[in-house]
A and B are shown apart, each in its own frame.
Chain A
């Protein structure tokens, strides 16, 4: 997909303060902000797929085993002044699941993720993540935009701003929400904040036309539309002749042609009918409970194959049990969500590898925070921003790695603590971008995805 602004607008808007890399690149890019741009140094990857377990997946029940919890179930945590988001903290509650070691690397995974467990040698676990808020919206915003405050551009916006896209006939930044609804915080999770709308995420639906308003309504045929678009083109050309120097006007003319092409390329990109029976089976797209997330994972593969820069898949939508937000009955909650996603995620890894896409794609699995080792509402767990696990796999990632650790209860990250800014800095690095140099001038400042912090997580780099 192509989105443009004129050179003059760029200067006007940016007032000379825009990050020099981006400015130079945007000008080279013939004024199309999504044209391909050179990174700061050679990139390891071209695309990223973010699997967002919205609501807050529990680390201590999935990828960070804490045997002590069973031993001390029913005892109070040593940390007394803990203030859970919803009050009334209980005592220590053991994980309802058991853990096993997998792969050459012998990494621990619980029985919730038997399929993903087969791939641990290709994955890097960061068990020492922490975030700044225990409230969903700010924590979601931080994971997506680097800031707990509303109004900042999301990572997908930064990447498309910094690098453009490999395929002009598709949006560069695509988001699939869960079939049960969108996450808390809504559109600002994939919005452009203070950047131009050219960099905002486009929501894709996994059934019907992928993009809202992609196709003419009712019985309007493509031929009929082509006819009036031809008339539009001719009339626009006459108008343009009066303003030959206005690149913005020709860009707008172009945008209609790209839109017309997108009407074909977008449905093709997510047409799972073109996939073999074996592939469909691998992802579980024709069966419960994997059909929804399986489709999205398979679509994500098709999209990165076509050069889409950033694909984000939300697992979980709405509130409470519809999401990973297991304030009660974590057993039913996580069994449902893991059941829906484990096989598709493993399939995505297998499929990316078999198609030679694994080395050019980063797969990242995360929530907005983890969950507490104590009970809440008898059999649930409250939010834990102090320590949780994120895992990465794909291009540039050293598989079979475990970075950092939480304390013996899984409450707080203690060893090699990593912030969300660190994670973002690392992702940009894999794309060949120095997070301190990718800046956007706004409100008197060169803004960054990582604000004024962020250290590379070198331990996960191959």
Chain B
């Protein structure tokens, strides 16, 4: 600003006024987002009074002396970090601030003018565009051909390629309502839920194991996966889904679904040794995942300091921590009270009967074990033996430690004891062990349980529960209990400026390969920014208007002309490539739900440590020919075919899969036994269904794999490949699986 220079001129007074106004404008624009109502670091710049009061670093200004003013130190770069964090002010702006302070820092009264609120914190307003607004913002005239459309719709909604019959049915349907009818029909398919649950599971970092050293299985986690699939199929309103995820267990009489839904709060990784630190990390996982997945906010950034870009003070982080603080792990029984009581009583009875049998085993081994223990003691180094020989009261500190170590850790394992027994003694031991095991066989079957969380009694000792203040239109008050329900109601409310926007942005991204905010879990200032916000807002308000119906949202997007135009091809997720292979080969088992499956992984890639196992089945085993969503997700043993296609590591929420193309992917698709087996099956299918005529085989192969006839030139190439080629048909099938067109949604 030239004004700062003018300050030294003759028109002193006028210039000073201008400088003050300019300083006000600069603070208003650059600083109040954080140092206004949000008062980060305790600093509120809106009035002279609060400026003088200052924040955690003391008074912000020393009127008349810029160089000793804390505020000026930060904006001028003399103090770190330079403010504002989004980029230093321009020299003339810094000069204006200086001029204002030097002039005695007259009142700016910024509180009187409304703060410019960041767009994402201003609730969307519904505007009528007289029809589908997508076509207003994305005008398109060219319509893709019907074969492309039907393949796009099937892959998009079901994650399965259409069969030739399904393609023909749509292509031949000349009625004007054919397209919306197809969409409705697909939305009614149970496989829709399997397809769209996958995105959600990425987002809520779902896995079937705990990670870290033992990476223990979570054998009941799959119920959550099925819950998501079923919820989507039932078109459960999204606001209800949020409430169930965050606080299903707080419902007055929780249903199994509500209990299973709290698995959301259990999917994070679990450390091998749980300490206060790892507990705080678990809470961080809940705060960060909830912030990102539901509200598109990187709240986790405010764990160690006020958020550097968004108006999320550290105190907001700890308010949210207080909401989750009293949660405890739970395995919610999914059985009635009577069954549970019966089960407990029966186990107690068996325990009592089993106890003497267990003692008998120990007693039988005792003499041998005692002998061996003595021998081992005698072989200890002299300084250890001395420690043992020394009377306890005379032992030095070191001898006390060593004597205790001998006591506690000198143990002879059962295995070593058994090695010393005679054949007849071994036989007797076996009988005794069998007697113990016989009791176990009498135990009642375990009732089903759901991995989840419940409320404990240990509340945050320091912080009161609360929400993200900048996103709250009005104060949210928490009662003494059901803290998560209060949080969930606030998130799942039409008044939350973020929730609906974030969700519709995700669905749009999946359907179109691009979105309004390209960083779908970061709507803040460090994200991509927003484009076509009016359309985003229209979709968000329509979504809420339609009762948070996800299916109606798909329908709205897919019936737009834009969706029916020429879209850019999108590579399928790993799971959909795999599903498509099975579908084309005709081997896909469409059984839904239940415990996960274990496709083959070469043992060289997983044989490891600490009992981590992968009970992989041969690729010939039909139990593995199910949809990719059912593949068991073990955090430290990724399935290569999915891993190299960027299936996320499930450690943290993944809002958008990476998409890399690698020669390792190509190797798996060229040489892996899964593709080999399925190529043979596909070839058998072609022989079975198309007969021995190569032309019919080629045409049928294209229809099954790509949903269309080959072009004449494609057909010629395939036929000349098959001519005189003994293994030609299997190789032709493998070729189809490897085509770009096969792996891309058109």
Interface footprint category on B = 35 or more
B448 interface residue (CB < 8 Å to A): no
Interchain CB contact (< 8 A) of B298 among A33, A232, A376, A443: A443
Contacts of B661 in A (CB 8 A): 3-5, 198, 248, 251-252, 255
C-alpha gap A195/B717 in the complex (Å): 39
- Once A197-B645, A231-B717 are accepted as A-B contacts, the answer to whether A240 and B740 lie under 8 Å apart by CB is yes
Are A224 and B735 closer than 8 Å at their CB atoms? no
B646 interface residue (CB < 8 Å to A): yes
Those of A252-295 within 8 Å (CB) of chain B: 252-253, 255-256, 258-260, 262-263
Contacts of B635 in A (CB 8 A): 150, 188
- Measured CB to CB, the nearest residue on chain A to B285 is A149
C-alpha gap A415/B658 in the complex (Å): 43
Contacts of A186 in B (CB 8 A): 215, 606, 608-609, 612, 636-637
Are A138 and B212 closer than 8 Å at their CB atoms? yes
C-alpha gap A205/B718 in the complex (Å): 37
- Measured CB to CB, the nearest residue on chain A to B410 is A378
Contacts of A236 in B (CB 8 A): 739-741
- Measured CB to CB, the nearest residue on chain B to A32 is B661
Interface string of B296-307 (1 = CB under 8 A from A): 001011000000
Are A196 and B519 closer than 8 Å at their CB atoms? no
C-alpha gap A78/B732 in the complex (Å): 74
B711 interface residue (CB < 8 Å to A): yes
A27 interface residue (CB < 8 Å to B): no
Interchain CB contact (< 8 A) of B740 among A184, A198, A231, A252: A252
B396 interface residue (CB < 8 Å to A): yes
Are B662 and A3 closer than 8 Å at their CB atoms? yes
Contacts of B645 in A (CB 8 A): 197
Question: Closest Cβ of chain B: how far from A112's Cβ, in Å?
Answer: 20
Question: Closest Cβ of chain B: how far from A148's Cβ, in Å?
Answer: 9
Q: Name 25 interchain pairs, CB-CB below 8 A, sorted by A.
A: A2-B662, A4-B661, A9-B659, A13-B658, A13-B659, A76-B400, A89-B405, A90-B402, A135-B271, A138-B271, A150-B269, A185-B212, A187-B638, A213-B602, A213-B672, A217-B673, A228-B721, A232-B739, A235-B735, A252-B743, A253-B740, A258-B666, A323-B609, A444-B519, A445-B526
Are A255 and B637 closer than 8 Å at their CB atoms? no
Are A203 and B398 closer than 8 Å at their CB atoms? no
C-alpha gap A409/B313 in the complex (Å): 45
Are A89 and B401 closer than 8 Å at their CB atoms? yes
Interface string of A1-15 (1 = CB under 8 A from B): 111110001011101
B30 interface residue (CB < 8 Å to A): no
B664 interface residue (CB < 8 Å to A): yes
- Once A12-B514, A186-B612, A234-B717 are accepted as A-B contacts, the answer to whether A1 and B739 lie under 8 Å apart by CB is no
Interface string of B534-546 (1 = CB under 8 A from A): 0000000000000
B contact residues vs A (CB 8 Å cutoff): 211-213, 215, 269, 271-273, 281, 288, 292, 298, 300-301, 309, 380-381, 383-384, 386-387, 396-402, 404-406, 408-410, 514, 518-519, 521-522, 524, 526-529, 568-569, 571, 602, 604-610, 612, 635-638, 640, 643-646, 649, 651-652, 656, 658-668, 670-673, 676, 711, 713-714, 717-718, 721, 725, 727, 731-732, 734-735, 738-741, 743-744
Q: List 11 other contacts, CB 8 Å, given A88-B405, A88-B409, A90-B405.
A: A73-B383, A75-B396, A182-B607, A186-B609, A196-B658, A202-B664, A212-B602, A228-B732, A376-B409, A377-B409, A444-B527
A43 interface residue (CB < 8 Å to B): no
C-alpha gap A135/B649 in the complex (Å): 21
Those of A317-361 within 8 Å (CB) of chain B: 317-319, 323
Contacts of B384 in A (CB 8 A): 74, 378
A contact residues vs B (CB 8 Å cutoff): 1-5, 9, 11-13, 15-17, 33, 73-76, 85, 87-92, 135-138, 149-151, 171, 177, 181-188, 191, 193-198, 200, 202-203, 205, 211-218, 220, 224-225, 227-229, 231-232, 234-236, 238-240, 243, 246, 248-249, 251-253, 255-256, 258-260, 262-263, 317-319, 323, 374-379, 443-445
Question: Closest Cβ of chain B: how far from A140's Cβ, in Å?
Answer: 9
Which of B381, B408, B670 has the most A CB atoms < 10 Å from its CB?
A: B670
Are A191 and B212 closer than 8 Å at their CB atoms? no
- Measured CB to CB, the nearest residue on chain A to B725 is A227
Contacts of A378 in B (CB 8 A): 380, 384, 405-406, 409-410
Are A235 and B717 closer than 8 Å at their CB atoms? yes
Are A33 and B660 closer than 8 Å at their CB atoms? yes
C-alpha gap A379/B301 in the complex (Å): 46
Are A224 and B731 closer than 8 Å at their CB atoms? yes
- Once A217-B671, A378-B380 are accepted as A-B contacts, the answer to whether A443 and B652 lie under 8 Å apart by CB is yes
Question: Closest Cβ of chain A: how far from B636's Cβ, in Å?
Answer: 3
Question: Closest Cβ of chain A: how far from B457's Cβ, in Å?
Answer: 28
Are B658 and A135 closer than 8 Å at their CB atoms? no
Which of B607, B649, B711 has the most A CB atoms < 10 Å from its CB?
A: B649
Are A255 and B521 closer than 8 Å at their CB atoms? no
- Measured CB to CB, the nearest residue on chain B to A212 is B602
Question: Closest Cβ of chain A: how far from B151's Cβ, in Å?
Answer: 13
Are B518 and A255 closer than 8 Å at their CB atoms? no
Contacts of B273 in A (CB 8 A): 85, 135
Question: Closest Cβ of chain A: how far from B519's Cβ, in Å?
Answer: 5
